[in-house]
Structure 1
Amino acid sequence: MDINDPKDVVRRGYDALSRRYEQSFTAETKYQPWLGTLQQRIPAGATVLDLGCGTGIPVARVLSGAGHRVTGVDISEVQIRRARELVPEAEFRQADATAVEFPAASFDAVVSLYALIHIPLEEQPPLLAKIASWLRPGGWFLGTTGHSAWTGTDDNWLGGGTTMWWSHADAATYRTWLTEAGLAVQQEEFVPEGDSGHALFWARRPHAGE
């Protein structure tokens, strides 16, 4: 354990507050239209990667319940253990999102909600490039990013006495990074949260010649 490693701070934070985070955020209705739109854009029985899946709720549960084949990845051992209990029909893997490997063109969609913002800034563009490579041509990336640039911690995250760490660029930078990764940004919106918010991106891996 390295208390100065931001990824370790994130892992320990979610290990400690898995249930509190679930109670605070996973019932939010904003997920429903996002996942509904995604299902309209991917084929029946699609393969989907949920990167930063948490407990598997709501993304893995909703998509696997609709007949899609979902693989979830999360850095937190506790989150993954609970995901396997809560969404047994999906496959889950404990791993650092920046270190996990999949074959090229493995997925029809990659979903990453509120996860990129926990990864060191310099590691985010290479991860977006890997995500693009994991998508099949025509596949979709649905992800939330920072809206304004910020790096910092909360030493009493969710009132649970545990530290959490974030780092994100601004939305324009993410738009550039997605494009440089080889994805075509189709849609961007601001998702408010408290007195700030996040950016939501829909990006697609083009077919050859597009």
Structure 2
Amino acid sequence: MSAETELVRRGYDALSYRYRSDDADADADEYALLLEMLRSRLPARASVLDLGCGCGVPVARSLAAAGHEVTGVDISDVQIQRARRLVPNATFVRADAMTLDLPAAGFDAVICLYALIHMPLEQQPVLIERIATWLRPSGRLLITTGWEAWTGAEANWLGGTAPMWWSHADAATYQSWLRGAGLEVTSQEFVPEGDSGHALFWARKPAD
């Protein structure tokens, strides 16, 4: 595990509750439309991988409640402990996404919201390629990336005592990485945050 990844792990361990409360309704407006769109594109009892699942609220909990088989992965022990308590009808694994050993074509969808941008930049296209192998034909990827290229840290993140670290390329680079992994980019949106924002991509693995 790189020093930057360890910093991210410690940051979420320390600030898990500052980042998101146990209350599923706290982020309902922010995620409602996104989750509705995702659910409409999934088959019944879909197998879904949530990379960077955090405490499982609201994404994993919403999908599990809809009858889907959800596997959540996060690097933070505290986040995973909370997820197991908050979403008992899903499976959660504490792991670095880059070390995951998952079966090819094992998932109907992979969700990676605000997680890829916490990984070293050189690892990100590799992970996108691995995600493509985990998707079944016609499987969906929903992922947030950087909009503009930036790497840096913030001390006392969220007003707490722990720092946080990010690294991301620009949206055009992520689009090229997605296509290079054999995925069809079906939508790209700008999600504002502060003085800048993120790119939200919907991508699809072609059918056989």
Report the TM-score when normalising by structure 1.
0.95
Q: Which residue of 2 aligns with 1:200?
A: 200
Q: Is the partner of 2:123 in helix, strand or coil?
A: helix
**Cα deviation 1:150-198 (Å, max 9, x = unaligned):** 0000011000021000000000000000000111000000000111110
Q: Which amino acid aligns with 2:90?
A: A
Q: Which residue of 2 aligns with 1:163?
A: 163
RMSD: 1.5
Q: Which residue of 2 aligns with 1:56?
A: 56
User: How many angstroms does 1:25 deviate by?
Assistant: 11
**Cα deviation 1:56-90 (Å, max 9, x = unaligned):** 01110000000000000000001000100000000
Gaps of 5+ in 2: none
Whether 1:14 aligns to 2:16 is: no
User: How many angstroms does 1:24 deviate by?
Assistant: 11
User: How many angstroms does 1:23 deviate by?
Assistant: 3.8
Report the TM-score when normalising by structure 2.
0.96
For 2:70 and 2:23, the matched residues in 1 are separated by: 21
For 1:54 and 1:152, the matched residues in 2 are separated by: 21
Q: Which amino acid aligns with 2:107?
A: F
For 2:131 and 2:105, the matched residues in 1 are separated by: 9
For 1:35 and 1:73, the matched residues in 2 are separated by: 18
For 1:30 and 1:146, the matched residues in 2 are separated by: 18
Q: Is the partner of 2:109 in helix, strand or coil?
A: strand
1:86-125 → structure 2 map (5 Å cutoff) = 86-125=86-125
Q: Is the partner of 1:151 in helix, strand or coil?
A: strand
Q: Which residue of 1 aligns with 2:152?
A: 152
Q: Which residue of 2 aligns with 1:189?
A: 189
User: How many angstroms does 1:35 deviate by?
Assistant: 1.0
Q: Which amino acid aligns with 2:49?
A: L
For 1:65 and 1:164, the matched residues in 2 are separated by: 31
Identity across the alignment (%): 63
For 2:44 and 2:161, the matched residues in 1 are separated by: 43
Q: Which amino acid aligns with 2:141?
A: F
For 2:54 and 2:63, the matched residues in 1 are separated by: 14
Runs of 4+ in 1 over 4 A off after TM superposition: none
